[in-house]
Structure 1
Amino acid sequence: MKDRKKAILKAAARVIARRGVRGLRVEELATEARVSKALVYYHFGDRSGLLRHTLRFIGDRAERYTCRRPPGPREPESPLRELERRLLLELQDTREVRENSTAWGELRASSVFEPELRDELARADLEWVREIADVLGQVDPTAPDKALVAAAERLIVLLEGLSTRWLIGVLPTDHACELMRGAITAEVEGLRLPEPYTVCPVG
């Protein structure tokens, strides 16, 4: 990715995290990225193009830090440990993760009013569910694909909710991670049940 284009996307993530999608102004973004407004339009065409590319940039950045492994010699990682690492790294108390998660939440919420973002969000969500389902499949190779996908969806939905509460300070980092670990344990144990459990509708 060209340096200036990357600078614009990094600045867009910062501005969206700070002001929300509705508060994104090309003039402020250009100043934040230290480029001209014309260059922003040159790379992204219009505001919708900028938002779609920013969403993709945020997703790619999250994938990089959740797939990152500690440097140096290490024992082979078990599938369960990999699953925990990938999900818990979304709750790292760092500026990059907080900014990324906040901007992602703002873009997701704004898609209610900006339908052009929905396809990009659906694509990113599908990829994330598939990645987590694949790791769950390594934890329990006997589990059917449908059960793996459902478990992955539940874990991701819970993580997004925990992340929101963590970002606003309702949940301390340690407690959010503890709740996530408990959910992972429950989902893995659920995969090993003889028959998938179902929730009966009330009433």
Structure 2
Amino acid sequence: MKDRKTAILKAAARVIAHHGVRGLRVEELAAEAHVSKPLVYYHFGDRAGLLRHTLRFIGDRAERYTAAQDAAAEDPAQELQHRLLLELRDTPEVRENSTAWGELRASAVFEPELREELARASHEWVREIADLLGRVDPTAPAPALVCAAERLTVLLEGLSTRWLIGLVPAGHAAELMRGAIEAEVEGLDLGSLEPRTACAVTVVAV
């Protein structure tokens, strides 16, 4: 039963990446996953439930492929760079994941039921990057770490979108990201806490 649920989620991510959220039809999804339509409803209740679980599946899948690479990192700075640059890796899995994430994020403008799950996933991602930044510079204050992490993840989402639609080559997007990481790490040493506090509070309040 678990394998069928995973098959449905994989199919949902694939359909959303290619046709968008509005192009997701339960009948077509069931056919894509080689399951019955009632089974889709059995696992996810309704279309909104399916979308929420698909978003979580996409996040978990990204966590798995980044964690596999992070294991090879020699130090926190290298792990931080790996974690962020892997989202710009030109592989079918990353392309599908990033495209589906972008489609779900855009659809949340019109489908409020997705916003809570998106907020949770974004909050966790910012916290993970903030924790890595804290390992790079253990003396940096927590608000500065959270703000730096928020800026990096927001930039990465924008670069990923531009790369996916062909506006920016993957190599150039990676170079821009490396420059941003370097700037944020250097900025942690400045000790200017006041401008960063409001940003950190905004993220914590999600």
TM-score category, normalised to shorter length: over 0.9
- Identify which of 150, 155, 159 aligns with 2:156: 159
Q: Which consecutive residues of structure 1, in runs of 5 or more, have no partner in the other structure?
A: none
Instruction: Give the corresponding residue for 2:46.
Output: 46
Counterpart CA distance in 1 for 2:45 and 2:190 is 51
RMSD: 1.6
Alignment of 1:56-95 (within 5 A): 56-69=56-69, 77-95=74-92
Distance, in Å, in 2 between the alignment partners of 1:55 and 1:70 is 22
Residue of structure 2 in register with 1:28 after alignment = 28
Residue identity over aligned pairs, in percent, reads: 78
Post-superposition CA distance 1:83-114 (Å, at most 9, x none): 00000000110001000000000000101111
1:10 maps to what in 2?
Answer: 10
In structure 2, C-alpha distance between the alignment counterparts of 1:197 and 1:182, rounded to whole Å: 24
Partner of 1:55: 55
Match of 1:130 among 118, 127, 131: 127
Cα distance in 2 for residues equivalent to 1:179 and 1:143: 23
Work out the CA distance in 1 between the residues paired with 2:70 and 2:189: 30
Instruction: Please give the alpha-carbon distance, in whole angstroms, between the structure 2 residues aligned to 1:169 and 1:22.
Output: 23
- Per-residue deviation, 1:194: 3.4
Contact 2:133/2:145 (8 A) holds in 1: yes
For residues 122-201 of structure 1, the aligned pairs below 5 Å read: 122-196=119-193, 198=195
Q: CA offset at residue 70 of structure 1?
A: 7.8
Displacement of 1:198: 4.4
Gap regions ≥5 residues in structure 2: 197-206
In the alignment, the residues of structure 2 paired with residue 59 and residue 198 of structure 1 have an alpha-carbon distance, to the nearest angstrom, of 30
1:129–1:149 contact (8 Å) kept in structure 2? yes
Render the CA deviation track for 1:104-146: whole Å, top value 9, x for unaligned: 0000010111111111011111110100000000011010000
- Which protein is richer in helix relative to its size? 2
Equivalent position SS for 1:69 = helix
Please state how far the C-alpha of 1:196 moved relative to its aligned partner.
4.4
Amino acid at match of 1:156: T
CA distance in 2, matches of 1:68, 1:170: 29
For 1:173 and 1:119, locate their aligned partners in 2 and report how far apart those are by CA, in whole Å: 31
Query: What's the CA shift string for 1:26-52, capped at 9, x where partnerless?
Result: 111011101110110111010000000
Structure 2 counterpart of 1:119 = 116
Q: TM-score normalized by structure 2?
A: 0.91
Q: Do the aligned residues in 2 keep the contact of 1:190 with 1:196 (CA within 8 Å)?
A: no
State the distance in 1 between where 2:61 and 2:142 align: 27
* 4+ residue segments displaced more than 3 Å: 196-199
C-alpha separation in 2, matches of 1:65 and 1:111:
25
* Structure 2 residue identity aligned to 1:64: R
